[in-house]
């Protein structure tokens, strides 16, 4: 019973750190990474939850897999937009973040 708790706690920690990273980051790429990790943290909590009963609860697994796929889609689109913005505007930050260090 400790394994799920360990990983769930790790998930919480990942989530929080990444969320903080998202808050502080300005570079869009890093923000995308941070959000991906936030997602991973949530998924880890879910999967850790699923691991409690025996056999494991398959529903959270399905949810996480869906989440991973959705995540990659969003990431891909975000990266494409980022590249486009960088090509157009020469910066990888959103307009409001550009003048600050």
Q: What is the DSSP letter of 53?
A: S
CA 12 to chain centre: 12
The encoded tokens of residue 75 equal: 């990431």
- Residue 46: φ, ψ to 5°: -65, -45
Shortest CB 9 distance to another protein, Å: 6
CA distance 4 to 95: 42
Shortest CB 98 distance to another protein, Å: 10
- Residue 100: φ, ψ to 5°: -110, 150
Shortest CB 50 distance to another protein, Å: 6
């Amino acid at each position: 019973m400790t394994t799920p708790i360990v990983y769930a706690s790790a998930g919480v920690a990942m989530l929080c750190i990444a969320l903080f990273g998202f808050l502080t980051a300005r570079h869009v790429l890093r923000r995308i990474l941070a959000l991906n990790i936030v997602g991973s943290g949530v998924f880890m909590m879910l999967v850790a939850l699923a691991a409690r009963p025996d056999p494991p609860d398959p529903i959270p697994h399905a949810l996480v897999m869906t989440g991973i796929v959705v995540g990659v889609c969003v990431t891909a689109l975000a990266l494409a937009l980022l590249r486009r913005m960088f090509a157009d505007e020469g910066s990888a930050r959103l307009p409001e973040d550009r003048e600050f260090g």
